[in-house]
Chains A and B, each alone.
Chain A
Amino acid sequence: MIFGDHMTLAQLNSRQTARIISITGPVALRQRLVALGVLKGHTISVAATSLFGSPRTYSVGKQQVCLRSKEAGYIHVELQA
């Protein structure tokens, strides 16, 4: 699934909001994200960045989830206006 404005969550800037279009990566990672309620179609934005740029916390729905940039790279998003 490649779209014109395709990017991964790791590339999202701190002021941007995006929508999750697909999640790839190891099965254990995908299952864990699903269990936390990080699903396709959800709106996601960067909430906080740690000193070295990874991990970052993201707001998804009513929660904040911490991800290292490696894991965030498996989440494909499209920018939202």
Chain B
Amino acid sequence: MSPDESAALSFSDGTDLSSSDNSAFTIALIGNPNCGKTSLFNQLTGARQRTGNMAGVTVTSREGNCEWRGVEFHFIDLPGVYSLSNSRVEEKVARDYLIDSPPDLILNVLDASNLARNLALTTQLMEQGLPVVLALNMLDELEKQGHSVALGSLSESLGLPVLASDGRSKKYLPELLEQLLVVCRTEQCAEQGLHIEYEPHLEQAISELEALGIVRWMAVRWLESSGENDFNFDANQLSAAQSALALLGSRHDEDPAEMVAQGRYGYIHGLLHKSSSEHRDQSSADHWLDSIALNRWLGIPVFLGLLWLMFEATFTLGGYPADWIDTSVSWVGEQVASLMPESLLKSLLVDGLIAGVGGVLVFLPNVVLLFLFIALLEQSGYMARAAFLTDNLMSKVGLHGKAFVPLVMGFGCNVPAIMSARTIEEPRARLITILINPFMSCSARLPVYVLLAGIFFAEQAGTVLFALYMLGILVAFGVAAVLARTIPEQHDETFIMELPPWRMPSIRSLLLHVWDKAGDFLRKIGGVILVGSVLIWLLQSFPQNGTPWLEQLGHFVAPLFAPMGFGWQETVALLSGFIAKEVIAASLVVVYQTGMSDMAGLQAAMGESLAPASGLALMVFTLLYMPCLATIATIQRETGSWRWVGVSILMGLVLAWIGAWIVFNLASIWI
């Protein structure tokens, strides 16, 4: 706010109540990646969202509301950034937001266990003269390290309110909200931007620019970004800035960014000397878990072992609740069957709806467990370590260490996974990451595997699951290697990543996450899977005298799948699966309906008609063949071209057919 405007405001209102007639305030959350910002955002808004443990999972900002004592707070969760001056996507999003639509207040979230670096961003906000309140997260971790921060003294030195916060519990929340309210009402924030004294040559450059009417913080930001941060300077200002930058370059080996950072860290160390109990930056980053997880020889075996354990547990642990659901579903089916007279409606209900929907509902526990394990990997900080372990392999196929997160997210659902590839800036690496994502077996395919593995490989089901996911990864890497050699590279992207500290995942946010995913799955069952089941039932039941349409269709296409030993039932199920992969399981249940509405009946029927080798081939086909409708739409949106959608579909179908054929023939020899 310029001095003129603020004068006008206080004049028209007469008092300092200039903003208290407002009962709504916009507050933006900003902070370093992994500082616990999104957890705090969830606490504040009650939104059910995920905290990514890697930089840039939040590319677009999220919003949510919270009411506190009659005042409406509108929170905006900006992407995690280390700075505001780099040319990275997430920094640009945050930077533009703060300039174009400044919020009433900024809640700067800091990781107290790495305060110095977190405060570097704070100094940028303060230089810009923005109204800031600091929330210190992870104070407990700091105490575990045997340190402490005097919040009061830090607040005094900075001239800003400094509060404790915790993304894992609500204990600090009332105090935080109360303080936000006070600050919003009174605007008791520093009006003047922070003034850090930089190195003399840099100061000289800054004052030259200030003389031309450029605000100090803009001059600093322009120089530290080497002109990347464009503030619409006029021609005169721009040429002065460029010659100042050139002069600096001739006088110093260091980049202006380094010189500015030296100034910032000098200021920060002065602050911390007064208010923090630590005097040396001890390498508290070392953790006994890293001596295993990052061990040169153990790292990758441990990673693979964890993945295997995850799929084994998904299958076995999920089996118990799945049995309960199965029992309940068949009980409902029997009740309906015994209460209703023989009719088409009864058939629709029992053989269509209850069988199809129930057939997928059974897999809810497996899907929920898988999401739980992925969230655990993410929140604990292991995901970034796995990215480190696999970076070398990834770089060999034209991928980037950053592609790891979209790929693992693909185990959950390919749609958000493909969207999260936005964090990859190099266009080729991003395109490859998008195109190979459908090979990462999403949770929708899990019901099909669990069903088939349970029938044909009940003893080694977990291992079969693990092998399928591994096959998906191998195919993805193979395809990436081919794409990397056909698509030209645009520019090199460096791999610099911070390893977040190990963190105990918060039970609350894990449960919220799982609850959320279970809700998604149930909504999908109530929507597309319900419709799919009814559709399959219709095609299966009509015409009533003669071969049903579904069977006719199945027989028509079946020759294509005959080399893998699939019957018309499997053919039909695969055709229906392009709507959503869970529909494959629903279709199998409906077409194989044997009068028995429980899983055991279906398993017996399928086991009789399908050879184990065909069962395995069916799983492989399901794994590799075309993306589902939602994924196709996402690929189109993210690549902006139908051509890549075509490539993706064709590639999937061809690879699925070849893969299933190979697996069928190999398995026929061994099994």
Contacts and interface: CB of A to CB of B under 8 A. Distances in A.
A80 interface: no
A62 B279 CA distance: 12
B86 A66 contact: no
Contact of A36 (B296, B387, B498): B498
Interface string A9-52: 00000000000001100111111111111011011010111111
B438 to A, nearest CB: 28
Contacts of B290: 47-48, 64
Contacts of B88: 32
A30 B260 CA distance: 12
B498 A63 contact: yes
B281 interface: yes
Given A48-B294, A63-B499, A28 B255 contact: no
B501 to A, nearest CB: 8
Contacts of A36: 82, 117, 496, 498
B561 interface: no
Contacts of A50: 294, 296, 299, 388-389, 391-392
A21 B341 CA distance: 86
A50 B87 CA distance: 29
Interface residues of A, number: 39
A62 B284 contact: yes
Contacts of A79: none
B300 interface: yes
B498 A32 contact: no
Given A32-B86, A50-B296, A66 B113 contact: no
A22 B299 CA distance: 31
A30 to B, nearest CB: 4
Nearest to B497: A66
Given A52-B392, A55-B401, A28 B497 contact: no
Contact of B86 (A31, A42, A68, A71): A31
Given A63-B499, A64-B285, A35 B86 contact: yes
A55 B261 CA distance: 25
A43 B255 CA distance: 19
B285 A37 contact: no
A66 B388 contact: yes
Contacts of A55: 388, 391-392, 401, 495
B328 interface: no
Nearest to A33: B496
B459 interface: no
**Which secondary structure dominates chain A's binding surface?**
mixed
Contacts of B117: 36-37, 61-63
A62 B278 CA distance: 12
B114 interface: yes
Given A54-B392, A55-B401, A68 B499 contact: no
A35 B499 contact: no
Contacts of A29: 494, 496
B127 to A, nearest CB: 15
Contacts of B254: 22-23, 40
Given A32-B86, A36-B117, A47 B285 contact: yes
Contacts of A52: 392
B437 interface: no
Given A32-B494, A34-B257, A40-B254, A65 B87 contact: no
B225 A31 contact: yes
B282 to A, nearest CB: 8
Nearest to A22: B253
Contacts of B391: 50, 55, 66, 68
Nearest to B227: A27
Nearest to B384: A66
Nearest to A40: B258
Nearest to B81: A35
Contact of A1 (B224, B253, B255, B265): B253
B366 interface: no
Contacts of B300: 51
B121 to A, nearest CB: 9
Contacts of B285: 47, 59, 62-64
B120 interface: yes
B496 A71 contact: yes
Interface of B: 82-83, 85-88, 113-114, 116-117, 120, 224-226, 253-255, 257-258, 261-262, 265, 281-286, 290, 294-297, 299-300, 387-389, 391-392, 395, 401, 494-499
Given A28-B86, A62-B114, 12 more contacts: A30-B258, A35-B86, A35-B120, A48-B294, A48-B295, A50-B389, A55-B392, A57-B294, A62-B281, A65-B496, A68-B395, A71-B495
A-B interface, 10 closest residue pairs, ranked by CB to CB distance from nearest: A48-B294, A35-B82, A35-B83, A37-B117, A64-B499, A61-B281, A59-B283, A30-B255, A52-B392, A34-B261
